[in-house]
Structure formats: C-alpha cells, structure tokens
Amino acid sequence: MRSVEPTRIATPGAPARPFAGYLFDLDGTIYLGDQLLPGAREVIDAIRVAGRKLLFLSNNPTRDAEQYVSKLGAMGIAVEAREILNTVTTMTDWLRRFHPGATVFPIGEEPLKRALVNGGIRISEKPAEIDIVIASYDRGFDYRKLQIAFDAIHVHKQARLVTTNPDRFCPFPGGRGEPDAAAIVGAIEGCTGIRCEQNVGKPDPFMIEAALARLDLHVTECLLVGDRLATDIRMANAAGMPSALVLTGETTMEMLSDHPEADYPTWILHRIDELLPSLQRDRPDVREADHRGGKETDAGTIR
C-alpha cells in the first residue's frame, strides 16, 4: 500500500479507459434507499459485457451477502453472493485471521451473529469469557448489552473493543437516518474509558485489501466508485487506488471544497452512467492489442 500524492487534484469527468475491476459503494452510488439510481443498471451490464470484474462494498452490517443479492435482484441487477463484500464478512475474516480462538460478544443484528457462528467463532454473553466486544449497528441495543460489555472490559479487564464500521448514522432518503455503529462504540467508550481498537469497514485498509484479494487484482487495476469522501474516497486514496466520486448520494460539489485534499477523488461524476463511454470503448480488438503489447495505461495493465 502506498500513500496518494498530496498534490492530487480532483478533475470533473470520467476516466477515458476501462479498468480491470470496479469496486462500487451501494447506497448513494447504485441505489438511494430502495430506488435504483439512473444509469446504474446500464453500467453494471456494460461491465459484464466488457468482461470486467466487479465487487459491491458496504459498511452496513445489518444484511448479509444473500440479502444484498435479493435487494439488487429486485431492482433488476443480477449479482452473485461472492460479488458482495460488507462488514459482516470482513469482521468474520478479521477475527479468524488476527484472533483465532477468541470468544466474542457481538452487539449486532442477526446477519452478523450468523456469519460469526458460521465462521466457527465462539460467542458468549458471560463477561468473564469474553475476549472481544464487537460494537455494531444494532437496533436491539439496550442497557443489558451495555452492562455485559462494561463488565467484560472494565470489571474483568480482559476484553478489547472493536467495531464493524465507523459510521455515526445510516442516511435515509429525505434527510432522515438511523444511529449506526459509532453510537454503540460511543456508549461503551463512554462508560469504560477505553478506545475502540479496530474498524473493519471503509475507510480501513482491511476492507480494500479484502476486496482486492476477492477480485485477485492489483490496486491500480481497479476503480473505486462511491458517494462519501471520508469513507469511500479516503480509503481508495490511502491505498493508491483511482477513485470516482458520484454526486448522487451524500456529497455535493460545495462539500468537496471543505474537505482536505487527501480526500479528493480522481474523477467526479454527476451520474454513474458517465462511466459508460469508457466501458463501451472496451472493444475486444482493443483489448487484444493491449495484451500483445503488455501495454500499461493510466488505468493499470489491461487484462
């Protein structure tokens, strides 16, 4: 992983060449709430026709991959479960990799708990047994769960605190929203005085490394497309991945000027289907020519 150059300046417009892989944020990028965004289906179709790889990334831990397959399918976008990567999966993978054998207490919803159990991770509500408290987006959060976390961390002085995602709230259409995992982290940090040690969602490098491993591509061969500067674009920049900000979700052009340059995207799209010309330029004869020459482009080596 390399850092992005500090002089990088975002330019409006779309990339001229296709990428080998596309990482798409979901909410605000592909759909808004339950409404598919204009041009999203056409872009996914064009990526399939062009034979490029894609992966959908979400910080939301209240659904698992199969539920996203159903949601996207209902909107007319056919995807496979392996094309979805969210924090239910990254948390399970992170625990298995860095804390094998740990007993965890997830403050989260059923999809997260189900993934942990299916991943062979032991769950307990007994504070003396808990090695890791997982603070997540949990609409069933209550004082009993906070007490278990407090006892495990402060009384038994054994458990550490981690989170699925750093989001303060989950935005809904019309300016509404729901408190997200940061609210649970805040409650536990407030009563124990400890700090949350790890986030496995955007913008943490663990998320983008998991995505690249899933796609089997190098960081410069992929384009990350998202609507949030502090999660989507910051993660891409930190990894050295080209990025496109779409203005169909959280971010406006006015907000962009208030952000540090490190959060600027490579390109800015008013609509996601501004990616279409570059994908339609991806004719088989062009790809073959690039293969023969082993040609490097600003989009990385075309496979």
Q: Confirm or reject binding of residue 167 to Mg ion (CB under 5 A).
A: no
Let me know: does 12 contact 267? Beta carbons within 8 Å: yes
Per CB under 5 A, the list member of 18, 20, 25, 94 interacting with Mg ion is: 25
Site string for Mg ion, 239-278 (x = CB under 5 A): ----------x-----------------------------
Helix (H) or strand (E) holding 245: strand 243-246
Nearest CB to Mg ion, comparing residues 159 and 207: 207
Q: Confirm or reject binding of residue 227 to Mg ion (CB under 5 A).
A: yes
Nearest CB to Mg ion, comparing residues 25 and 138: 25
> 3-state DSSP helix/strand/coil percent for the chain, to nearest 5?
40, 20, 40
Per CB under 5 A, the list member of 28, 111, 201, 242 interacting with Mg ion is: 28
Q: How far is the CB of 30 from Mg ion (least distance, A)?
A: 9
Q: Confirm or reject binding of residue 27 to Mg ion (CB under 5 A).
A: yes
Listed in sequence order, the DSSP H helices in 200-283 are: 205-215, 234-239, 253-257, 276-280
Let me know: does 232 contact 25? Beta carbons within 8 Å: yes
Nearest CB to Mg ion, comparing residues 130 and 229: 229
User: What does each C-alpha distance from 137 to 107, 184, 294 come to in angstroms?
Assistant: 8, 7, 46
- Per CB under 5 A, which region of 17-25, 147-155, 207-215, 260-268 contacts Mg ion? 17-25
Q: Confirm or reject binding of residue 180 to Mg ion (CB under 5 A).
A: no
Residues in region 91-120 near Mg ion by CB under 5 A: none
* Distance, CA of 217 to CA of 30 (rounded, Å): 22
Instruction: Extract long-range pairs of 211-216: CB within 8 Å, 24+ residues apart.
Output: 211/23, 211/55, 211/57, 211/85, 214/55, 214/82, 214/85, 215/21, 215/23, 215/53, 215/55
Strands 84-86 and 53-58: parallel
Q: How far is the CB of 40 from Mg ion (least distance, A)?
A: 12
Nearest CB to Mg ion, comparing residues 123 and 170: 170
Nearest CB to Mg ion, comparing residues 83 and 227: 227
Nearest CB to Mg ion, comparing residues 221 and 227: 227
Taking alpha carbons only, the member of 175, 234, 177 closest to residue 202 is 234
Q: How far is the CB of 79 from Mg ion (least distance, A)?
A: 17
Tell me, rounded to whole angstroms, the distance of Cα 245 from its chain centroid.
14
How many residues sit in the footprint of Mg ion (CB under 5 A)? 5
Nearest CB to Mg ion, comparing residues 151 and 227: 227
Q: How far is the CB of 13 from Mg ion (least distance, A)?
A: 21
Chain residues binding Mg ion by CB under 5 A are: 25, 27-28, 227, 249
